[in-house]
Amino acid sequence: MVEATGGGDTCCPGLLTAPLDEEQAVDLARVFKALGDPVRLRLLSMIASKAGGEVCVCDLTPAFDLSQPTISHHLKLLRQAGLIDCERRGTWVYYRLLPETTDRLAGLLTRPAGTPLPDRRVRAGAVS
Amino acid sequence: MVEATGGGDTCCPGLLTAPLDEEQAVDLARVFKALGDPVRLRLLSMIASKAGGEVCVCDLTPAFDLSQPTISHHLKLLRQAGLIDCERRGTWVYYRLLPETTDRLAGLLTRPAGTPLPDRRVRAGAVS
DNA sequence: ATGTTGCATCGACGGACATCAATACAACCG
DNA sequence: CGGTTGTATTGATGTCCGTCGATGCAACAT
């Protein structure tokens, strides 16, 4: 499940151009929350940067000082967020990136070309 | 503290092209964690999408069913993540987006142009 | 069948986090 | 000066989350 709001799409408007309504915010927060952990970020980058597009769990687990159940738990969260998918092949399970989701995030964080850098006027009141 | 990118830079390599080392992961996770809450996402989008580039706290608070200290707390987390900045002008405090940070995130999530969509072939067991 | 290996789920525990009421601080106004 | 309004901080509380050991399930091997 998770699958962006059935029909809400939220394709382009962008996080930075119009206020999010609460439903969109809840949905998006789930994905960002999945990225809000160092272990999951490293897992994602290991999966995404792998040449063949796939990584076996048995190659991921030994890269961390964590128990196997913990890694499995993090992979589950990344999968539930729609960031990765997995496929069992014989004894082994292979994970791969779902680029549509990272593409969507990148789009949401990219401001439309025209947006001017906010006048950057005084930096005076820098709160210590 | 926190102070986005103390000295770690992590400028370009991209989350999806090479495995993150742990220090980079910890640093990045702090930012994504700040985005991993619906209230903070809505606050950020309200601030970022505001015409003048600035929003007064007094315009943000009434948009939520939350206490004023709670909103203030969320704004503090967004600021510590380097996503927004604030400036006091008279009685009021104005928040504005720090676009460098969202730009950095968008860049990290954007795959280098050449990256082929992982052959998407069959969704079944199809394997060599 | 029995054993073995790879991965997922379960139950528990400690620390982190979102929230609030109360309070403190800052700037204005009489 | 004291009073009022806007915002931040403090302290407490309930819930969520990361982690583990133990266990379960799937796919091979013998």
DSSP string for B4-35: SSSS----SS-TTTSPPPHHHHHHHHHHHHHH
Residue B40 with chain A: CB contacts under 8 Å? 29
- Residue closest to B60 by CA, chosen among B95, B12, B23: B95
Residue A15: per-residue pLDDT: 94
Cα B45 to Cα B9: distance, rounded to the nearest angstrom: 26
In this structure, is the CB of residue A62 within 7 Å of any atom belonging to strand D? no
Domain-located, residue B92:
yes
pLDDT digits (tens, 9 = 90+) for B66-84: 999 999 999 999 999 999 9
Domain-located, residue A15:
no
Domain-located, residue B10:
no
Domain-located, residue A3:
no
The band of A3, judged by pLDDT with boundaries at 50, 70 and 90, is very low
Q: Does B122 touch chain A (CB under 8 A)?
A: no
Domain-located, residue B52:
yes
Domain-located, residue B30:
yes
pLDDT digits (tens, 9 = 90+) for B16-62: 999 999 999 999 999 999 999 999 999 999 999 998 999 999 999 99
In this structure, is the CB of residue A46 within 7 Å of any atom belonging to strand C? no
Query: Among A11-20, A57-66, A96-105, B55-64, whose mean pLDDT is lowest?
Result: A11-20
The band of A19, judged by pLDDT with boundaries at 50, 70 and 90, is very high
Total structural domains within chain A:
1
Asked if the Cβ–Cβ distance from B19 to A124 is below 8 Å, we say no
Which bases along strand C come within 7 Å of a protein CB atom? 5-11, 17-22, 26-28
Residue A116: per-residue pLDDT: 62
Residue B9: per-residue pLDDT: 43
Residue B121: per-residue pLDDT: 44
Query: Among A26-35, A107-116, B17-26, B105-114, whose mean pLDDT is lowest?
Result: A107-116
Mean pLDDT of A53-69: 97
Burial class (CB in 10 A: 0-12, 13-18, 19+), B75: buried
Asked if residue A100 has pLDDT above 80, the reply is yes
CATH number at residue B56: 1.10.10.10
Domain range enclosing A44: 23-109
Query: Among A27-36, A108-117, B15-24, whose mean pLDDT is lowest?
Result: A108-117
Cα A98 to Cα A42: distance, rounded to the nearest angstrom: 16
Asked if residue A40 has pLDDT above 70, the reply is yes
Asked if residue A85 has pLDDT above 70, the reply is yes
Residue nearest to nucleotide D10 (CA to C1'): B69
Residue B12: per-residue pLDDT: 61
Domain-located, residue A99:
yes
In this structure, is the CB of residue B76 within 7 Å of any atom belonging to strand D? yes
A6 vs B90, residue with greater confidence: B90
Domain-located, residue B100:
yes
- Residue closest to B32 by CA, chosen among A5, A23, A29, A75: A29
**Protein-nucleic contacts, chain A 14-33 to strand C, CB < 7 Å:** none
Asked if the Cβ–Cβ distance from A36 to B36 is below 8 Å, we say yes
The band of A125, judged by pLDDT with boundaries at 50, 70 and 90, is very low
Q: What is the mean pLDDT of chain A?
A: 86
